[in-house]
Amino acid sequence: MRKPSGFRLGSSIGEMHDSPIYAVNWSADLYETHPLDKKHGDEDTKESINSNVNGISQKQNLVRCFATCGSNYVTIYEVNTKAGKNNMGSINHQSSNDISSGGLRVRQSYKDPDEDECFYTCAFGGRSIVTPFEYESTSVLIDGSIVLLRSHHNAKANLTKKRTLEESTSTMPDTDADTNAVLEQADGPQLLCVAGKRGIIKVIDPSRRSLLLTLSGHGDEIYDVSFSPIDQSLLISASKDESIRLWNVMNATCVAIFAGHDGHRDSVLSVGWHPLGEKFVSAGMDTSIKVWSLEMLRSSISESHKYRNKKKQIFTSGDKTADRYKCGQNIDIKKKDRQKNSGQNSLFRTVHEQSPIFSTNKVHNAYVDCVQYVGDLILSKSISGTISFWKPDMSIPLNDQPLDSIVTQRRIPSNALSLCDFYIDRCDVWFVRFQTDLDCHTLAIGNTVGEINVWEIGNGSQSNPMKKPIAKLKNAECKSTVRMVSFCPDGKTLIAACDNATVWKWDAIYS
């Protein structure tokens, strides 16, 4: 992938809820624009492929999509990732009659029926179960991107429509046989998971524009969710209840809970997968950063793929009972019904993991609200205004090893080798998150005055401990805190989500 020489402002849009937007996440898929929408936007800015529909060769216009969340709203946007015409930075607010803004176009919008809900995090992953009337074919490009082509038989029904999660209808099957059949056919668009204040993960199926299911088990707010880069059905979630949970989204099961004696002692704010998917890193308000392994959970993960839930069945997610939701409402199950299903609950047993394979509080001395793997190295951010690039030392120092073979207490490695630091000016608030591009060549983060700092990561060096940004992106109309930035999978676009309910699109420039 070519490295951009800079970025220029593409467009911006304001969301209707007028509340902070806390998260933004890109789908890995490419989507065909709606047949009735192709007149919108600049055709030269859309990606395209040649497809064969009903034996007729056609050229399909494709767009990438990302989702934002804030307050009790979730919005999915279409984006023309190639640089084209822009609106010179003027904010275009959503309305029922105008939902496009120079390369940004609302594809779907959802409102949770719970007015007190506030979504802090979202992530695309898993696969939806689509009908032949929604998508005709699935293609794979040379770069591995999955292309989803809409059906032309039901064009009017697929128009962008604002829906509430309360209007959604569950599509889970009634019998085990039906469940097995549809799970094998789960090869449609990625699902979208959102979570926040209520501590419940809601799984949206964008292809059907509905709430598919919910994952309940956390005892407090959820601050981060992330899908495995290897197995799209596996999701980890970080919560204020001091725990991390591993879920199998396709089967609505909680595979494992990471908490306890050696776990976090305060809210867990951020989680990030290792590129190979065999471990993940977590960070939180206790200033510690921990690495957890899935090596001992392979059998449980395999079992979760085989496990099947019947419709409306009550299942146990660790130490709490999780109810399946339908139409955004909790199904009321009486106590005798819970006892009746107690035998079914024992079909899958959630694993409790109390000890990480690495734990340190030597990197930061304040809240750690964002963490990410870069190969085997780690990037972590503290509210002290520094992003640290470092390597966990998995060896145990000699002075920490047991002197007697009788002593069996396990020692957890804690030393970190510092490579370099990235200084963020005007960023003294927590829950401001950075991100790298897909190849981990470039790092970006916003601050409290609407600016975005961009660095080239490189390999780091102790002889050059403080790296300077290669670019600082700013616009006169953006003065609000940039809560999160996210690179498009192809690296051509950078999206910024802000406290003033605005979304900003920056296009990469290649010299």
Chain segment 86-135, per-residue pLDDT in tens: 444 556 655 433 344 457 889 889 999 999 999 999 999 998 876 433 44
Cβ atoms within 10 Å, residue 19: 15
d(CA 199, CA 219): 6
Chain segment 289-331, per-residue pLDDT in tens: 999 999 999 999 999 988 765 433 333 333 333 333 333 333 2
CATH number at residue 276: 2.130.10.10
CA angle 13, 194, 138 (to 5 degrees): 80
pLDDT of residue 308: 66
Instruction: Note whether residue 219 is domain-resident.
Output: yes
Structural domain harbouring 309: 6-509
Domain count, the chain: 1
% of the chain residues with pLDDT over 90: 52
Instruction: Note whether residue 1 is domain-resident.
Output: no
CA proximity to 109, closest of 8, 2, 222, 204: 204
CA proximity to 480, closest of 454, 500, 452: 500
pLDDT of residue 397: 63
CA distances from 114 to 197, 225, 453, 457 (A): 11, 20, 36, 41
Which residue numbers in the chain have pLDDT < 70?
1, 34-60, 80-102, 130-186, 308-347, 397-410, 459-466
pLDDT of residue 372: 98
d(CA 245, CA 258): 6
Instruction: Give residue 407's Cα distance to chain centre.
Output: 42
For residue 390, list its beta bridge partners: 378, 418
Instruction: Note whether residue 381 is domain-resident.
Output: yes
Instruction: Note whether residue 256 is domain-resident.
Output: yes
Whether the full predicted model's pTM is greater than 0.75, yes or no, is yes
